[in-house]
């Protein structure tokens, strides 16, 4: 449940190399740039909460670089939500630069090269979320990369509070509770960012954006309903069916296509989850698919493999 690493346990000459290996193992392959001084100190604690992981990274100043060559063998995309506590961090990805100070959090995407740095000793809380888990709650989360969000008030502050408070309690939870806590963290993250107009990333006006968010929220809350359809969504949100279709067209999709993708993402999340004991049929029915054959066809079209293959791959990783 909890893994701890400290450079204090390594020989002085091996500390930088040991820290490089620990960080790359915790997050994904990275190149590290250390300061010019001879010494280096760092402590890294990692807690698993189902499919997500919390880490607390305390170290001297560093530069973390993710290069294109790192992406070649790394097929599982993930996002890092990073909360600096002691010093400002700088982040550069996809030609964009952002600075994130204590009191805020930023989002990093693993599937693009980036540079993340802080010159002074720092303490970071980091939530690592698989792409499939985040996409099941936030449409096109890549829009959020390089954005910094307020963590001093409202849901943003609640998200960070829960992140900090969850870690010390992980060892007191059973597997089901840890999995649920991880999901709640991601739900809070989604709530914290979905109201930010920058997260829309479209040509929608603020009014259109508000209608779209309300429709998306209703759909996510009712995905288990087999009768979920555009007319039901429009009626619940006080919109015309035609206007609802226009809203989703601004996002490059259709209402039915968006519903189907959200259902498939949640099914994929369950199939990848080692704690999930439901059968493939139960997972499909749980998220609104009345026909398992149709579900299998749509799942394969979306993810390039069958639900059975996805579950077998999960079992092989857990072995």
Regarding whether 139 and 176 lie in a shared domain, the answer is yes
Regarding whether 139 and 28 lie in a shared domain, the answer is yes
Domain end point (choices 172, 199, 226): 199
The pLDDT value recorded for residue 319 is 57
Q: In angstroms, what CA-CA distances link 32 with 85, 115, 117, 215, 307?
A: 20, 10, 10, 43, 38
DSSP letter string, 50-118? TTEEEEEEEESSEEEEE-HHHHTT--S-EEEEEEESSS-EEEEETTEEEEE-TTEEEEEETTS-EEEEE
pLDDT tens-place string over residues 48-85 = 998 899 999 999 999 999 999 998 877 788 999 999 99
Regarding whether 234 and 109 lie in a shared domain, the answer is no
pLDDT tens-place string over residues 148-180 = 999 999 999 999 999 999 999 999 998 888 988
Tokens 């698919």 label which residue? 289
The pLDDT value recorded for residue 206 is 61
Regarding whether 82 and 167 lie in a shared domain, the answer is yes
Regarding whether 298 and 221 lie in a shared domain, the answer is yes
Regarding whether 314 and 220 lie in a shared domain, the answer is yes
Residue length of the chain: 319
Domain end point (choices 199, 217, 250): 199
Closest CA to 138 of 74, 58, 198, 49: 198
Q: Are 219 and 200 in contact (CB under 8 A)?
A: no
Model confidence at 116: pLDDT above 60: yes
Rg, the chain, Cα only: 21
Span 97-112, mean pLDDT?
A: 94
**Which one is predicted more confidently, 319 or 101?**
101
Kindly indicate the confidence band of residue 314, based on its pLDDT and cuts at 50, 70 and 90: confident
Q: Domain residues for 218? A: 206-318
Span 179-188, mean pLDDT?
A: 91
Distance CA 101, CA 36 (A): 24
Regarding whether 180 and 251 lie in a shared domain, the answer is no
What is the value of pTM for the model shown?
0.76
Helix (H) or strand (E) segment spanning residue 297: helix 292-303
pLDDT tens-place string over residues 200-224 = 544 445 677 778 878 988 998 899 9
Regarding whether 44 and 114 lie in a shared domain, the answer is yes
Token duo for residue 36: 């010019």
Regarding whether 109 and 169 lie in a shared domain, the answer is yes
The pLDDT value recorded for residue 189 is 93
190-227 burial: b if 16+ Cβ within 10 Å, else e: bbbbbeeeebbebebeeebbebbbbbbeebbeebeeee
Regarding whether 211 and 184 lie in a shared domain, the answer is no
What does the mean pLDDT of the chain come to?
89
Regarding whether 267 and 294 lie in a shared domain, the answer is yes
* Domain count for the chain: 2
Model confidence at 199: pLDDT above 70: no
Number of helices (H) and strands (E) in the chain: give both, helices first.
12, 12
What is the CATH number for 215? Answer: 1.10.10.60
């Amino acid at each position: 449940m909890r893994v701890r690493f400290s450079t204090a346990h390594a020989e002085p000459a091996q500390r930088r190399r040991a820290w490089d290996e620990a960080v790359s193992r915790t997050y994904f392959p990275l190149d590290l740039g250390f300061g010019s001084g001879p010494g280096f100190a760092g402590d890294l604690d990692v807690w698993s909460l189902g499919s997500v992981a919390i880490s607390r990274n305390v170290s001297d100043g560093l530069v973390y670089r993710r290069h294109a060559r790192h992406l070649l063998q790394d097929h599982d995309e993930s996002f890092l939500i990073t909360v600096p506590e002691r010093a400002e961090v700088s982040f550069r990805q996809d030609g964009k630069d952002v600075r994130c100070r204590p009191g805020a959090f930023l989002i990093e995407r693993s599937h693009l090269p980036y540079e993340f740095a802080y010159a002074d000793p720092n303490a970071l809380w980091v939530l690592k979320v698989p792409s499939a888990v985040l996409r099941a709650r936030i449409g096109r989360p890549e829009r959020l990369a390089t954005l910094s969000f307020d963590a001093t008030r409202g849901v943003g502050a609640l998200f960070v509070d829960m992140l900090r408070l969850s870690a010390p309690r992980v060892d007191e939870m059973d597997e089901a509770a840890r999995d649920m806590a991880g999901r709640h963290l991601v739900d809070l993250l989604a709530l914290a960012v979905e109201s930010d107009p920058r997260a829309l990333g479209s040509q929608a006006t603020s009014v259109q954006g508000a209608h779209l968010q309300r429709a998306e929220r209703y759909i996510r809350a009712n995905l288990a309903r087999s009768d979920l359809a555009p007319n039901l969504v429009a009626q619940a949100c006080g919109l015309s069916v035609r206007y609802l279709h226009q809203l989703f067209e601004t996002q490059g999709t259709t209402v039915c296509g968006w519903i189907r993708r959200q259902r498939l993402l949640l099914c994929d999340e369950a199939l990848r989850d080692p704690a999930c004991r439901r059968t493939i049929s139960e997972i499909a029915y749980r998220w609104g698919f009345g026909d398992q054959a149709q579900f299998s066809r749509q799942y394969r079209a979306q993810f390039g493999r069958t639900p059975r293959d996805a579950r077998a791959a999960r079992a092989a990783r857990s072995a």
